[in-house]
Structure 1
Amino acid sequence: MYTGNRAMLIGSIGAGKSTLTNALLERQVKAVKTQALIYYDWIVDTPGEYTENPLFYKNIMATALEVTHVMYLQDATKKKNIFPPGFSMGINKLPIGVVTKSDSERADVTHAIAGLKQVIPKGPIVITSSVKGEGLQEIRNLVKCKSLQEMEEYIANHPSNHIIFK
């Protein structure tokens, strides 16, 4: 069983949770619709329904007990932000905002970042492209951090176009 830091990915259906999981773990498998919690090494992949239906929020809260970090995914090609403002404040874990699909022609990264800033009052936001491998190493390194201060220091010491700290 994995005993280090562990991150749970949450986001809407089709936000890219499984694709990001595969990219982070360098798995060469096709992403499929997640029907239940799936544990891979240091990542917990969740079904999009957990985020889209408030009746499933209890599942997010229960699973959060098993992780050190929660990644809040926002699809850059979608205008709708699935998370209510301040949502991360209800989960006492280190937050990481993740903009997915930044490489798409339809991507509006600025809008996605603005949405995540409403969800995460303080913390890092990583701009990713699972296809191009952008932002992946930054996420891996952030999950190794044990506090928001450590995350902020990591970002200050490792400048990147793919990460901001708000």
Structure 2
Amino acid sequence: MSAASNSGAPAPIPEFDAVVLGYSFASKRAATRLRDDLHLSVLEVVDATAATYDDINNRWEIRVGRIVIARTKFVIDDDGKIHLQGRETDEIDPASVTAHGFPNLFRPAGTDRADSLGYTVSCIEYMRAHGHDFVERRLRTAVADDDYPELSFDRPTPAMWVG
């Protein structure tokens, strides 16, 4: 009897803590810091064509063409050249590290923040230390006395179906 199965079921999609998109010095540095400083499982993807947020499973799906190659909790987009589909939109401000409607997405390259990579790593470290697994930029910056006043760590309340 063969150990291989001929059931025709699709192969499981590998899941990672973080996926770093792009191929530059900044993306290599981001992947190294996430692995070494935070001990995350990190996949570096150069040829991704799209990343779509799955609001049900709270994961990003990374695609090459039409094939999902990985699922991840955090996406670090280095070059901003692939199509990103957030919860409700695909419009994103290229000058910000985080964006409303794009949970757990960090874009440290090309922003106006001085140490955007350090901000990304420290934010993920903060989330892990405090038991959070969700972060998203608020629509408006709250006046708060916390470390990340522009971010919300609360999941949005799902819309209820009324019929």
Q: Give the TM-score band, short-chain normalised.
A: 0.3 to 0.5
Question: Which structure has the greater CA radius of gyration?
Answer: 2
Higher strand share: 2
Higher helix share: 1
Greater RCO (CA < 8 Å, at least 6 residues apart): 1
TM-score, normalised with respect to structure 1: 0.43
TM-score, normalised with respect to structure 2: 0.44
